[in-house]
Amino acid sequence: MLRPASDQRRRNILDAVVSVIIDVGFTDMTVADVATRAGVSTALVHYHFSSKSELIEAALRVASADDMTFRDTIVHGGGSALVRLDAVLCQSLPTDVDDASWLRWIETWGETRRSDALRAVMGELEAHETLAVVELISEGVTADEFSCPDADAAAARLTAVRDGLAIDRTLFQRDLPSTAVVAHLRGAIAHDLGLTPPAYADGISNHPAEV
Protein backbone atom coordinates (compact mmCIF):
# COMPACT_ATOMS: atom_id res chain seq x y z
CA MET A 1 0.00 0.00 0.00
CA LEU A 2 1.27 3.46 -0.84
CA ARG A 3 2.05 5.74 2.06
CA PRO A 4 -0.10 8.93 2.19
CA ALA A 5 2.84 11.11 1.07
CA SER A 6 3.54 8.82 -1.87
CA ASP A 7 -0.16 8.79 -2.71
CA GLN A 8 -0.17 12.59 -2.80
CA ARG A 9 2.94 12.74 -4.98
CA ARG A 10 1.30 10.33 -7.40
CA ARG A 11 -1.83 12.49 -7.56
CA ASN A 12 0.29 15.61 -8.09
CA ILE A 13 2.00 13.90 -11.01
CA LEU A 14 -1.33 12.93 -12.57
CA ASP A 15 -2.68 16.46 -12.15
CA ALA A 16 0.46 17.74 -13.87
CA VAL A 17 -0.16 15.38 -16.80
CA VAL A 18 -3.56 16.96 -17.44
CA SER A 19 -2.10 20.45 -17.19
CA VAL A 20 0.67 19.66 -19.69
CA ILE A 21 -1.76 17.96 -22.09
CA ILE A 22 -3.88 21.11 -22.14
CA ASP A 23 -0.84 23.28 -22.82
CA VAL A 24 1.05 21.26 -25.45
CA GLY A 25 -1.11 18.27 -26.46
CA PHE A 26 -0.49 14.53 -26.26
CA THR A 27 2.17 14.28 -28.96
CA ASP A 28 4.48 17.00 -27.66
CA MET A 29 4.06 16.12 -23.99
CA THR A 30 7.15 14.55 -22.41
CA VAL A 31 7.73 12.86 -19.07
CA ALA A 32 10.25 15.60 -18.32
CA ASP A 33 7.52 18.23 -18.87
CA VAL A 34 5.30 16.43 -16.38
CA ALA A 35 8.08 16.12 -13.81
CA THR A 36 8.86 19.83 -14.07
CA ARG A 37 5.20 20.80 -13.74
CA ALA A 38 4.76 18.50 -10.72
CA GLY A 39 7.98 19.72 -9.11
CA VAL A 40 9.50 16.24 -8.93
CA SER A 41 12.30 14.34 -10.64
CA THR A 42 11.84 12.43 -13.88
CA ALA A 43 13.04 9.35 -12.00
CA LEU A 44 10.15 9.67 -9.56
CA VAL A 45 7.65 9.83 -12.41
CA HIS A 46 9.17 6.66 -13.87
CA TYR A 47 9.03 5.04 -10.42
CA HIS A 48 5.24 5.37 -10.46
CA PHE A 49 4.61 4.90 -14.19
CA SER A 50 6.55 2.69 -16.59
CA SER A 51 5.74 4.65 -19.77
CA LYS A 52 4.27 7.85 -21.13
CA SER A 53 1.20 5.92 -22.31
CA GLU A 54 0.59 4.46 -18.86
CA LEU A 55 1.04 7.90 -17.33
CA ILE A 56 -1.53 9.47 -19.67
CA GLU A 57 -4.08 6.69 -19.20
CA ALA A 58 -3.78 6.86 -15.42
CA ALA A 59 -4.22 10.64 -15.40
CA LEU A 60 -7.32 10.49 -17.58
CA ARG A 61 -8.82 7.68 -15.52
CA VAL A 62 -8.48 9.83 -12.40
CA ALA A 63 -10.01 12.83 -14.18
CA SER A 64 -12.85 10.62 -15.46
CA ALA A 65 -13.49 9.24 -11.97
CA ASP A 66 -13.66 12.80 -10.62
CA ASP A 67 -16.27 13.69 -13.25
CA MET A 68 -18.31 10.59 -12.41
CA THR A 69 -18.22 11.37 -8.69
CA PHE A 70 -19.39 14.93 -9.35
CA ARG A 71 -22.26 13.63 -11.48
CA ASP A 72 -23.29 10.94 -8.99
CA THR A 73 -23.43 13.55 -6.23
CA ILE A 74 -26.00 15.49 -8.24
CA VAL A 75 -28.01 12.47 -9.41
CA HIS A 76 -28.38 11.09 -5.88
CA GLY A 77 -28.78 14.47 -4.23
CA GLY A 78 -31.88 16.44 -3.35
CA GLY A 79 -34.41 18.18 -5.54
CA SER A 80 -36.80 17.12 -8.26
CA ALA A 81 -35.71 15.05 -11.24
CA LEU A 82 -35.92 18.20 -13.39
CA VAL A 83 -33.68 20.16 -11.04
CA ARG A 84 -31.09 17.38 -10.96
CA LEU A 85 -31.25 16.83 -14.72
CA ASP A 86 -30.71 20.54 -15.30
CA ALA A 87 -27.75 20.46 -12.93
CA VAL A 88 -26.14 17.40 -14.54
CA LEU A 89 -26.28 18.96 -17.99
CA CYS A 90 -25.94 22.68 -17.32
CA GLN A 91 -23.35 22.52 -14.56
CA SER A 92 -21.10 20.52 -16.87
CA LEU A 93 -20.92 23.37 -19.40
CA PRO A 94 -17.64 25.33 -19.49
CA THR A 95 -17.38 27.85 -16.68
CA ASP A 96 -15.31 30.02 -19.04
CA VAL A 97 -13.47 29.69 -22.34
CA ASP A 98 -10.37 28.36 -20.58
CA ASP A 99 -12.25 25.72 -18.59
CA ALA A 100 -9.58 23.08 -17.92
CA SER A 101 -11.98 20.13 -17.87
CA TRP A 102 -13.30 20.90 -21.34
CA LEU A 103 -9.89 21.64 -22.81
CA ARG A 104 -8.73 18.30 -21.40
CA TRP A 105 -11.57 16.31 -22.91
CA ILE A 106 -11.40 18.11 -26.27
CA GLU A 107 -7.74 17.14 -26.52
CA THR A 108 -8.57 13.57 -25.48
CA TRP A 109 -11.41 13.04 -27.96
CA GLY A 110 -9.01 13.56 -30.85
CA GLU A 111 -6.46 11.18 -29.35
CA THR A 112 -9.02 8.35 -28.95
CA ARG A 113 -8.66 7.67 -32.68
CA ARG A 114 -5.14 6.42 -32.00
CA SER A 115 -5.47 4.80 -28.58
CA ASP A 116 -7.68 1.89 -27.57
CA ALA A 117 -6.96 2.61 -23.91
CA LEU A 118 -8.12 6.22 -24.13
CA ARG A 119 -11.15 5.18 -26.20
CA ALA A 120 -12.10 2.84 -23.36
CA VAL A 121 -11.76 5.62 -20.77
CA MET A 122 -13.92 7.99 -22.80
CA GLY A 123 -16.45 5.25 -23.56
CA GLU A 124 -16.90 4.52 -19.86
CA LEU A 125 -17.29 8.21 -19.09
CA GLU A 126 -19.88 8.70 -21.84
CA ALA A 127 -21.82 5.59 -20.78
CA HIS A 128 -21.90 6.78 -17.17
CA GLU A 129 -23.30 10.17 -18.15
CA THR A 130 -25.85 8.74 -20.56
CA LEU A 131 -27.11 6.34 -17.89
CA ALA A 132 -27.42 9.21 -15.39
CA VAL A 133 -29.44 11.34 -17.83
CA VAL A 134 -31.69 8.40 -18.77
CA GLU A 135 -32.25 7.65 -15.08
CA LEU A 136 -33.27 11.23 -14.30
CA ILE A 137 -35.56 11.51 -17.33
CA SER A 138 -37.25 8.22 -16.44
CA GLU A 139 -37.66 9.33 -12.84
CA GLY A 140 -39.21 12.62 -13.92
CA VAL A 141 -41.63 10.88 -16.28
CA THR A 142 -42.70 8.47 -13.51
CA ALA A 143 -43.23 11.41 -11.13
CA ASP A 144 -45.28 13.18 -13.84
CA GLU A 145 -42.92 16.17 -13.82
CA PHE A 146 -42.70 16.09 -17.61
CA SER A 147 -43.21 13.75 -20.55
CA CYS A 148 -40.66 12.04 -22.76
CA PRO A 149 -41.51 9.05 -24.99
CA ASP A 150 -37.91 7.85 -25.40
CA ALA A 151 -35.48 8.58 -22.58
CA ASP A 152 -32.56 6.92 -24.35
CA ALA A 153 -32.96 9.01 -27.50
CA ALA A 154 -33.44 12.20 -25.48
CA ALA A 155 -30.29 11.49 -23.45
CA ALA A 156 -28.28 10.98 -26.65
CA ARG A 157 -29.58 14.23 -28.14
CA LEU A 158 -29.13 16.36 -25.04
CA THR A 159 -25.60 15.24 -24.25
CA ALA A 160 -24.69 15.81 -27.91
CA VAL A 161 -26.18 19.32 -27.79
CA ARG A 162 -24.29 20.05 -24.56
CA ASP A 163 -21.03 18.82 -26.08
CA GLY A 164 -21.55 20.89 -29.21
CA LEU A 165 -22.33 24.05 -27.28
CA ALA A 166 -19.33 23.55 -25.01
CA ILE A 167 -16.93 22.96 -27.89
CA ASP A 168 -18.33 25.85 -29.92
CA ARG A 169 -17.91 28.32 -27.07
CA THR A 170 -14.54 27.04 -25.93
CA LEU A 171 -12.94 26.98 -29.38
CA PHE A 172 -14.86 29.48 -31.48
CA GLN A 173 -17.45 31.75 -29.81
CA ARG A 174 -15.22 32.89 -27.00
CA ASP A 175 -17.20 36.11 -26.51
CA LEU A 176 -20.51 34.30 -26.02
CA PRO A 177 -21.71 34.76 -22.42
CA SER A 178 -22.17 31.67 -20.24
CA THR A 179 -25.78 32.69 -19.69
CA ALA A 180 -26.47 32.44 -23.43
CA VAL A 181 -24.95 28.96 -23.62
CA VAL A 182 -27.06 27.79 -20.68
CA ALA A 183 -30.18 29.29 -22.27
CA HIS A 184 -29.56 27.37 -25.51
CA LEU A 185 -29.14 24.10 -23.63
CA ARG A 186 -32.18 24.67 -21.45
CA GLY A 187 -34.24 25.33 -24.55
CA ALA A 188 -33.22 21.94 -25.94
CA ILE A 189 -33.94 20.19 -22.63
CA ALA A 190 -37.37 21.81 -22.36
CA HIS A 191 -38.21 20.76 -25.93
CA ASP A 192 -37.29 17.13 -25.30
CA LEU A 193 -39.29 17.05 -22.07
CA GLY A 194 -42.42 18.61 -23.56
CA LEU A 195 -42.17 21.70 -21.36
CA THR A 196 -42.67 25.32 -22.31
CA PRO A 197 -39.74 27.60 -21.46
CA PRO A 198 -41.77 29.30 -18.67
CA ALA A 199 -42.73 25.92 -17.19
CA TYR A 200 -39.11 24.78 -17.31
CA ALA A 201 -37.89 28.00 -15.70
CA ASP A 202 -40.51 27.67 -12.97
CA GLY A 203 -39.47 24.08 -12.32
CA ILE A 204 -35.84 25.02 -11.64
CA SER A 205 -36.35 28.54 -10.29
CA ASN A 206 -35.45 27.67 -6.71
CA HIS A 207 -32.40 25.62 -7.71
CA PRO A 208 -30.48 27.43 -10.48
CA ALA A 209 -27.55 25.64 -12.05
CA GLU A 210 -24.14 26.99 -11.05
CA VAL A 211 -22.14 27.99 -14.13
Instruction: Give Cβ neighbours of residue 187 (< 8 Å, ≥ 6 apart).
Output: 197
Q: Which helix (H) or strand (E) holds 58?
A: helix 52-75
Answer yes or no: is pLDDT of 42 > 60: yes
Evaluate whether the domain defined by 57-204 bears CATH number 1.25.10.10. no
HEC assignment per residue over 92-148: CCCCCCCCHHHHHHHHHHHHCCCCHHHHHHHHHHHHHHHHHHHHHHHHHHHCCCCCC
pLDDT in tens, 111-132: 998 999 999 999 999 999 999 9
At residue 208, the pLDDT reads 47
Q: Would you say 21 and 104 are in contact if contact means Cβ atoms under 8 Å apart?
A: yes
Q: Report the percentage of the chain scoring pLDDT > 70.
A: 95
**3-class DSSP state of 175:** coil
At residue 4, the pLDDT reads 59
CATH pick for 1-50 out of 1.10.10.60, 3.50.50.60, 3.30.1360.70, 3.30.830.10? 1.10.10.60
pLDDT in tens, 160-187: 999 999 999 999 988 889 999 999 999 9
Q: Which helix (H) or strand (E) holds 161?
A: helix 151-171
Average pLDDT for 54-66: 93
Average pLDDT, the chain: 91
Average pLDDT for 90-96: 91
Among residues 88, 66, 89, which one has the least CA distance to residue 77?
88
At residue 206, the pLDDT reads 59
Confidence at 211, pLDDT banded by 50, 70, 90: very low
Average pLDDT for 32-59: 92
Average pLDDT for 137-157: 97
Q: Would you say 184 and 62 are in contact if contact means Cβ atoms under 8 Å apart?
A: no
The domain limits of the chain are: 1-50, 57-204
